[in-house]
Amino acid sequence: MRRVAIVGVGHGKFGTRNDVNLAEMAWEAIKEALSDAGVTQKDIDYVVYGHAGGWSSEPMTPIVVNEYAGLYPKGALRVEAACATGTAAIKTGYDAVASGQADIVLVVGVEKMNESPTPTVVEFIGRAGNYFWEFENFGLTFPGYYALYASAYMARTGATEEDLCRVAVKNHYYASMNPKAHFPRKITIEDCLKSRYIAWPLKLYDSSPITDGAAAVVLASEEIARKLTDTPVWIKGVGYATDTANLSRRPDFKLRRASVEAARMAYKRAGIDPEAPHKQIDVAEIHDAFTIAEILTYEELGIAKPDEGYKLVREEQTMIGGVLPVNLSGGLKAKGHPIGATGVSMAVEITRQLRQEVEKGRQAPINNGVGLAHNVGGTGHYTYVVIYSL
């Protein structure tokens, strides 16, 4: 297996993108990534697209975008793993380079969710669990799923709705400095607490938005990477796991087992101490589709002890200056969650953080040169954890 590095990154504006079609939006990120890597379309051996789809008018994303971006006749593949689609695409591109089947791979995450009305988007996402048992019979949507986690967590730990809102306030604070974010503005605890309930105890400001957006990375083998850049960002370890489709077949509403297993695998492959990963990791992007999800992830990754994740956000330990800065991009909550692009966007953010290229006020101190990205599909149905390093 060959070493694989990110040598170029690109990121379009996240939001409601009625100003562009899907291919034009993807090109924003592709063009930036190619330029950053110092390569052109002819240098690309293979293209992997992360695109969940369903709400968008274009079902054959690789073909449409390849044509528009001048990438044809390059081989291309569409990858789907619910909300973990973007990182699944990176894993697919990583495998192609590591195995020697390609030297340079372009990974593109793209989603145009606002082409469908909100009820349709909610239904499509809700189908990511067990459709016939949970969605069709009991009407569970994803806010409902995570409300179950949140209410159970609050009942056993003493965490409050204010603690959930602290996650939203933190992530909006950093998004206010990120020009690519869907919601680049600050909010207060009061703003969050006054927002309407979506599924108790989760409110509108506890929830990530329906977002259009694209992000891209260029992956290269070690030999090529060292020719292209002085600052390659290496993929040191990838962990991945799944869990049952039915929540009723899981033992409890505590830790999501797929996140725990994916983190364990990634840490082992990257040489990270699972008992104290925050001592080696400088910055993390984690999957905060709902505020409770970020708190759960602190515990699943071993950053906090079980049932104590809420204390980290209460004590501002996941802000710059704390034990581990988390979601300095604004996270899914405020940067946005265009499903197929989310995991690729995380890779772009971690790469720029490690290269110390992000905007003033949201740059993490880089002491060890290590970052982590955590991407979940469904309520832990799929999970990917990737360790990146200088």
pLDDT tens per residue, range 148-199: 999 999 999 999 999 999 999 999 999 999 999 999 999 999 999 999 999 9
Mean pLDDT of 260-285: 98
From the candidates 83, 278, 287, 381, which is the catalytic residue?
A: 83
pLDDT at 105 over 90: yes
What secondary structure, in 3-state letters, does the chain show? CCCEEEEEEEECCCECCCCCCHHHHHHHHHHHHHHHHCCCHHHCCEEEEECCCCCCCCCCHHHHHHHHCCCCCCEEEEECECECHHHHHHHHHHHHHHCCCCCEEEEEEEEEHHHCCHHHHHHHHHCCCCHHHHHHHHCCCHHHHHHHHHHHHHHHHCCCHHHHHHHHHHHHHHHCCCCCCCCCCCCCHHHHHHCCEEECCEEHHHECCCCEEEEEEEEEEHHHHHHHCCCCEEEEEEEEEECCCCHHHCCCCCCCHHHHHHHHHHHHHHCCCCCCHHHCCCEEECCCCEHHHHHHHHHHCCCCCCCCHHHHHHCCCCCCCCCCCECCCCHHHHCCCCHHHHHHHHHHHHHHHHCCCCCCCCCCCCCCCEEEEEEEECCCCEEEEEEEEC
pLDDT class for 57, splitting at 50, 70, 90?
A: confident
pLDDT at 54 over 90: no
Write down the architecture of domain 4-117+210-228 according to CATH: 3-Layer(aba) Sandwich (3.40)
* Residue 337 designated active-site: yes
- Whether pTM > 0.85 for this model: the answer is yes
Q: Quick check: is 192 catalytic?
A: no
Mean pLDDT confidence for 314-332? 98
Residue among 11, 51, 337, 381 flagged as catalytic: 337
- Residue-wise pLDDT for 212-235, tens only, equals 999 999 999 999 999 999 999 999
Per-domain residue ranges for the chain?
4-117+210-228
